[in-house]
Structure formats: C-alpha cells, structure tokens
Amino acid sequence: MKPRIGIHALGLAVPRRYVDMEELARARGVAPDKYLLGLGAREMAVAEPGEDTVALAALAARRALAASEISRQQLGMLVVGTETGVDHSKPVASFVHGLLDLPSAMRVYDCQHACYGGTAGLMAAVEWIASGAADGRAALVVCSDIARYGVGTPGEPTQGAGAVAMVIATNPGLIELDVGISGAASTHVHDFWRPLGRREAEVDGHYSVQCYLDAVATAYRGWRGRAIERDVIRRDGMVSEHLARICYHVPFCKMARKAHLHVRRCDLEDAGAPWDAEAEDARSAAAFRLQVEPSLGLCARIGNIYTGSLYLGLAGLLHAQASSLTGQRIGLFSYGSGCTSEFFSGVVAPRAAEQIAAAGLDEVLAARERISIAEYEQIMALPPTAPLARRTGPEFDGNFRFLGVTNHQRQYATR
C-alpha cells in the first residue's frame, strides 16, 4: 500500500502591526468599498525591518514544530519558499536551520518562483517522502515573504507579510495530498517581477490578473483530467463542484472569486452543452460562498503573503471548518507570477480540527496591534537595515528579530 503523505502540522507568523483598510482607503481618497468589496480586504499586515523574511520564517517554523509531535531529530529536509530573500547566496533556509538549531544531517535550501516557491518546496518534500529517500524522516517547508508595492501605488492595498511553515510527513494530521495528481501551467510573461536591488515589485496589475486566470484554466484542466483518470473525482456534471472546498492563491480576496468563476467556466465550456448565463450567475455566487469564501478569513486580515498565501487560505479554512470537512477532498491552486502554477488536491485528515487548534491561530492574530496610516508610512520609509532593537519587552516578546548587519553578517535575536 502507498504511504499516506501530506501536511501534518502548520505554524503561522505575522508582523505585530496592521492597518485597517477602510482607514487606508480614506487616507488615499478612495471609496472604502473599493478596498473592502472591490478587493475584499479588511486589514493589512505591516512588517517593520526587524520582522524580515528570516525572522518570520523562523518563528512560523518553531510554531509548526511545537504544534507537531515530530522532533527536530526526525527532520531530513528544510525548504524555504520565498521571493524576498536576504542574500544573493545564503538561503533563508540556512538562517532558519541555525536559528532553530536543527540537525546537521539534512537538506537545507530555498526555492524561488514568485508566489509558487513554497509549492515547489512542498512538492519536492512530498516526492522525497514518496520516493522512499526520506527513509522515515519528515520535512519542514516554510513559505515566508513581505509583499511590498509602495505607498500610493495601485498595488498598495494588496501588500501584506507573513510566513506559514508546514511539517510534511506520512499519516498527516491536516491533509493527505493526492500524490502525483496535479496540473501545471507555465508561460514566460512579465506580469509581476522585482529587479535585483529593488524592494518594491514592478507589476502590470490588470495583466497579472489575466495571466493568473489563463494559468488556473490550464492547471485545473490538467488536474481534472488526471483526477478523473485515476478515479479520484467523479466525471459527471460540474467536476469542480465535487470538491468540497477550493483554496486559491490569494493576492487579494476578490481574485479567488474571479478564479473560481473561471474554473466553473472551464467545466461549462468543456461539457459542450449550452448554459443559461443568468442561472449560472446565481449558481456561481452560491458555489463561491460554499466552496471558496470559508478559506478567505485570514487572507482578508493579513493581505498577500506571496508564497504562503495559498497555505494561509488553507489554514483559515481548516481553522473555520475542519471538523465538518473530515474525509472530504479539497482543491488547491498555487500561482507564481512570471509565471508558473499548479492545481492539486487532498483529503482532510480525521484529526485535522485538533491539529489546527494546536496552531493557535486566534492567539497569533490577537497579539497584533493596529497602527495609524501615518505610523505605517513611517515604517515603510525605514531603510531595510533595522536599528538595534531591544531584546525584551512588548516589541520583542521572545520572537526572532533581525538586529542589523555586523561584518556583512545578518544578526538575529533568538530569545
């Protein structure tokens, strides 16, 4: 019998500060409903220089391990997916490996392809275990990023920051993945990119939305074909409706709605029968509310966290509904600008509710502090080199923290 492999436990780290989107809209002279309804955002995480990609990744990883009964000695692989690395050569994973005092006898590296980097790590970890090379060991996959477009840009309300770390193992506690059943889609496009030396992304915003939709169509069709062929999903009717829930990459919540309508359009077009557009409008709205909306709670309160965005959606979904989803199949879509993407699926594990409770997601969000738009703008104007911060007090609270650079080496507070 094939081993059951998937996401065993997860941990979330977010910056300590956030802004309210209604307040941001007013400050920018924009109708609040554009951000609240047009983009689907409520709050946006704001990272200050001490909360860099490494600090967020290490904190999420420590929390994921604490939420799992798997010990550091049982790990054989650590992969960080990120597009906000801190060095041209030394990976974020190497810093995390040191900060967490992980064993020497393991693979440690970063994966990069915009927001897809974390999924690249997840797939490598799952296939490493499936191949037998893991030899009973587990993997730690961390997605950590800071999404930054700049003050006053169209991308500003779609910023965010945070890290999701996942323990990948056999007999997983959260979701068993359908190993080998996925659909990929890649095209060389300039929808979003960040030239070397730049902190802010370049983006062709509306084009990026179209690139995402083109990708989800191809990737979904690829997954659907394989899933039907291997009897993982029924072929009758609207195949996407046979998935209990679908989590999408969420650069802003409205994007998940657009993606879901597009996936339904693929099913309708491929069925080859005419459909009533008005009836489909009502059906797709209901399908979105049932299948997608429950995964957007955390995303609406944190913003785009790039590589971790899909897994933030998954965490939010399990946090909200794990007990009613036990044994049900959910779809997952990962998109990285540039672009590459993958649609895959998995089944919610029997003890998912208990396992996600161990992640303490409510506590992580409750520890945040709302700041004014003026304070947010001050943080955005700070150079990436952090001032030497206090090692104790409310600013630190025992979290990992970037302290500055000495001798060209990045320094971190660990306790």
Q: What are the catalytic residues? A: 83, 115, 249
Stretch that binds ligand HMG, among 54-62, 221-229, 295-303, 330-338 (CB under 6 A): 330-338
Half-sphere exposure of 281 (CA within 13 A, CB side): 2
Each residue of 271-295: b (16+ CB within 10 Å) or e? eeeeeeeeebeeebeebbeebbbbb
Judged by beta carbon, residue 208 or residue 291, the one nearer ligand HMG is 208
Backbone angles phi, psi at 261, to 5 degrees: -60, -35
Q: Is 251 in the site for ligand HMG (CB under 6 A)?
A: yes
| Residue reference for tokens 């509710």 | 353
Asked whether position 205 contacts ligand HMG by CB under 6 A, the answer is: yes
Q: Which of 284, 337, 341, 355 binds ligand HMG (CB under 6 A)?
A: 337
Which one of 335, 343, 376, 400 is in contact with ligand HMG (CB under 6 A)?
335
Chain positions 145 to 184 lying near ligand HMG, rule: CB under 6 A, are 154-155, 157-158
Question: How many other CB atoms are there within 10 angstroms of residue 318's CB atom?
Answer: 29
For residues 43 and 300, the answer to whether their CB atoms sit within 8 Å is yes
φ, ψ at 198 (rounded to 5°): -100, 140
50 versus 316: smaller Cβ distance to ligand HMG: 316
**Spatial CB neighbours of 202, under 8 Å, sequence gap ≥ 6:** 192, 193, 194, 195
DSSP for 117-145 reads HHHHHHHHHHHHHHHTTTTT-EEEEEEEE
Among 72, 199, 206, 289, binds ligand HMG (CB under 6 A): 206
Counting contacts by CB under 6 A, is residue 212 touching ligand HMG? yes
Per-residue binding letters, 305-324, with ligand HMG (x by CB under 6 A): -x------------------
Minimum CB distance to ligand HMG smaller for 128 or for 376: 376
Tell me the one-letter amino acid at 189: V
CB of 85 to ligand HMG, least distance (A): 13
Q: Which of the 8 DSSP states describes residue 367?
A: T
Query: Which is closer to ligand HMG, CB of 67 or CB of 164?
Result: 164
Q: What would the x/- binding string for ligand HMG be over residues 18 to 57, using CB under 6 A?
A: -------------x-xx--xxx------------------
> Minimal distance in Å, beta carbon 115 to ligand HMG?
3
Strands (E), 171-304: 175-186, 192-193, 202-203, 245-248
Q: Which residue is nearest to ligand HMG (CB)?
A: 38
34 conformational bin, left if phi > 0, alpha if psi -120 to 50, beta if neither: alpha
Site string for ligand HMG, 82-121 (x = CB under 6 A): -x------------------------------xx------
- We find the least distance from the C-beta atom of residue 204 to ligand HMG, in angstroms, to be 8
The span from the CA of 284 to the CA of 187, in Å, is 28
Query: Count of residues binding ligand HMG (CB under 6 A)?
Result: 31
Nearest by Cα to 93 from 108, 82, 106: 108
Which residues of the chain form contacts with ligand HMG (CB under 6 A)?
31, 33-34, 37-39, 83, 114-115, 154-155, 157-158, 191-192, 203, 205-206, 208-209, 212, 249, 251-252, 254-255, 304, 306, 335-337
